[in-house]
Chains A and B, each alone.
Chain A
Amino acid sequence: DQQVKQNSPSLSVQEGRISILNCDYTNSMFDYFLWYKKYPAEGPTFLISISSIKDKNEDGRFTVFLNKSAKHLSLHIVPSQPGDSAVYFCAASAVGSGNTGKLIFGQGTTLQVKP
């Protein structure tokens, strides 16, 4: 039972254009969402997060949007750069009272940014 789903295994965009990575979740208890970036032979690194009380969070070129009614979030990268080429993981947790707070990850989307 995949509670966090990234349905696009890969995405290819041109340098300078927008990259949009999508993520869907099924567990309505999730109230905190994160994106991680992973380069080959390295561990994932934290990129950006959003709480369920917000619908948008921005950090430089990276913006995460949350649509709670649709149980959907997306990561926008503008403008995309070749160094952004990596695997991106969406993750979710239930941080409210009584919940364990463990991160549940999606399958990942491989982003390729072409020069």
Chain B
Amino acid sequence: DAGITQSPRHKVTETGTPVTLRCHQTENHRYMYWYRQDPGHGLRLIHYSYGVKDTDKGEVSDGYSVSRSKTEDFLLTLESATSSQTSVYFCAISETRTGNYGYTFGSGTRLTVV
């Protein structure tokens, strides 16, 4: 999607290894989010950020950490990957706190933990 990119697009990693996913935006939006998509669960919020160095936990934050040292970058780290973290990860950005204009999502990162 224009203005927001995720990297890598695909990754296979081994259980127990650390993994970092990157979300980069060029829209200068203050609000950024990490979601994971799993069958039967839809999209679930992992962590979110309201600004540089201002982050908070979502509904499924265990095993994940985030960092935002610049407005444009929001990193998601799996400290020690487990098979239950195999999923598709989406980053989203929002111009407003309330998201009432809708979030803009990236194209996703498909992560497989073997």
Contacts and interface: CB of A to CB of B under 8 A. Distances in A.
Q: Interface size for chain B: under 10, 10 to 19, 20 to 34, or 35 or more residues? A: 20 to 34
B45 A102 contact: yes
21 contacts: A6-B42, A9-B40, A32-B98, A32-B99, A32-B100, A41-B107, A43-B108, A44-B90, A46-B103, A49-B100, A51-B100, A89-B42, A95-B98, A100-B97, A101-B96, A102-B45, A103-B99, A103-B103, A105-B35, A106-B42, A107-B40
A108 B88 CA distance: 15
Nearest to B43: A105
Interface residues of A, number: 28
A74 interface: no
Given A43-B107, A89-B43, A101 B90 contact: no
Interface in B25-67: 33, 35, 40-45, 48, 58-59
Given A4-B42, A44-B90, A102-B45, 18 more contacts: A34-B99, A34-B102, A36-B102, A41-B108, A42-B108, A45-B1, A45-B105, A46-B103, A89-B42, A91-B43, A93-B99, A95-B99, A95-B100, A101-B97, A101-B98, A102-B99, A103-B45, A105-B42
Scoring A6, A32, A99, A102 by chain B CB atoms within 10 A of each residue's CB, the highest score goes to: A102
A13 interface: no
A78 interface: no
Nearest to A91: B43
Contact of B107 (A42, A89, A99, A106): A42
Scoring A93, A103, A106 by chain B CB atoms within 10 A of each residue's CB, the highest score goes to: A103
A93 B98 contact: yes
B1 to A, nearest CB: 6
A104 interface: yes
Contacts of B97: 100-101
Contacts of A105: 35, 42-44
B26 to A, nearest CB: 16
Contacts of A102: 33, 45, 48, 58, 99
Contacts of A45: 1, 105
